[in-house]
Amino acid sequence: MWIPVKLRVFPALALAWALAGASTAAWSQAAGATTAPVNAAIAFDFVQDRQILFPITVNGRPAEAWLDSGASATVIDTAFARKLGLKLKGRVRARGVADPIGGVRLAHADLDVAHLQLNDRPVAVMDLSAVSRVVQRPVQVILGREVFDEAVVEVDFAQRTIAFQPNRGFRPPPGAPLGLVRSGDLRSFVIAIAGAPVEAVFDLGNAGGLLVDRDFAQGRGLLAGRVSTQLAVGADGARESAVTSLDRVEVAGVVLNGVPTAAVQGLASHAQANVGLAILRRYHLTIDFAGDRMWLRPDADAATQAFRKNRAGLAVTPQQGRYLRVTHVALGSPAQAAGWKVGELIRSIDGQAIDPGYPASALSRWTFGPPGQVVALTLADGSRRLLSLAEYY
């Protein structure tokens, strides 16, 4: 029997892996003792406003963890596992959104998350270097469902804090909760798209807004408007998907318009959709997996906050600490109209040279400028091009 585990990392990675010869119950029973957490908030880093990152320890060693409610188990990078001296066990069959991932192994580790101690937990060990190259920092640990099963998790985006509260003695916040439904090994809840109810996975590991199954989207006519393309990079490599913007997406009573929506062929879940951080960051979250419920308390401006969108049509990856390599040119975008090609190298933006600090700098957000803004891009050969930003999906 196989144990399916789904992981979504950056900016959209779906990983389903299975371990032969064990049941889900056996997997759960393999977990070691848990020490109740202290109900205290710790600060997190909201990396590029796309991932929740905070300190943990693994086998007593400090590490950075990326929080992912859509991962059914914790994942540790191969290089970091080697430094920890983890003993690798059986091989794990894994696949991404579409393609298989090789070299995934089973191991056990002790995790300490803000005094929540998860001892001798089964973890997947795999190469996360492709994700690290995109975010330009080491990705050591993807912290999955275990922490949500063991504690009530509260995420305060306004204060950039996260707290892990004991399940026993938990006092619910004011207001009625939303029900969580078990969707395979994940949790989903009901949203509405154009007035119709849709089951959607609750996914703090999805850096985008909304993911929908492509067949479902086509059947509902969700791709009838302007459709472009985007590149998602994960452990299974790069994958192009269709992207559009949807109006009348209702989440926890708030109607959102202009929601960036990627249509993925064969979405790796039992639900038709997946709600990510571009939406969830508009709410104060209290997540109680054990009680199959959560509270989404919207910010005052939740409905009017503009969604961040790429208005250039270029996807770029830092290279050699001084260039940006074009990895994708979006269909129907200003970049495509201007003749940009994959593989071209950019050395400066509006006269500012690319340097190793680019990924964490304000300069890295140049593609999200307002429509009509003109950006001057200097290529590696010294030639200069002007690119006018525009809405194209």
pLDDT tens-digit readout, 63-102: 999 999 988 889 999 999 999 999 999 888 765 545 567 7
Q: Identify the CATH number of the domain in which residue 319 sits.
A: 2.30.42.10
Judge if 19 and 88 occupy the same domain.
yes
Indicate the pLDDT class of residue 34, thresholds 50, 70 and 90. Answer: low
Which among 305, 331, 300, 317 has a CA at the least distance from the CA of 359?
317
Proportion of the chain above pLDDT 70, given as a percent:
86
What would the pLDDT profile of 310-327 be if each residue is shown by its tens digit? 999 999 999 999 999 999
| Predicted model pTM | 0.88
pLDDT at 355: 96
pLDDT in tens, 359-371: 889 999 999 999 9
Residue 5 pLDDT exceeds 70? no
Same domain membership, residue 322 and residue 247: no
10 or 243, higher pLDDT: 243
Q: How many domains does the chain contain in total?
A: 3
Domain end: 238, 270, 298, which one? 298
163 closest CA partner among 288, 57, 59, 63: 288
What pLDDT score does 38 carry?
Answer: 55
Indicate if 289 and 331 belong to the same structural domain: no
- The conformation of residue 312, written as its DSSP 8-state character, comes to S
243 domain residue, yes or no = yes
Lowest mean pLDDT among 71-75, 228-232, 239-243, 277-281: 71-75
Task: Assess whether 59 and 93 both reside in one domain.
Answer: yes
Please check whether residue 217 lies inside any domain of the structure.
yes
349: containing domain: 314-388
> pLDDT value at position 289?
96
Q: Are residues 209 and 347 in the same domain?
A: no
Mean pLDDT, range 38-57, rounded to an integer: 88
For residue 382, CA distances in Å to 23, 254, 378, 385, 386 come to 59, 48, 6, 10, 13
Separation of alpha carbons 310 and 336, rounded Å: 13
How high is the pLDDT of residue 95? 58
pLDDT score at 185 = 78
> Which of 116-120, 135-139, 143-147, 338-342 is most confident?
338-342
Q: Are residues 201 and 265 in the same domain?
A: yes
Measured between alpha carbons, how far is 309 from 67 in angstroms, rounded to an integer? 23
Shared domain for 277 and 369, answered yes or no, is no
Q: Using one digit for the tens of pLDDT, what is the confidence trace for 282-299?
A: 999 999 999 999 999 999
258 and 116 in a common domain: no
- pLDDT over 60 (residue 19): no
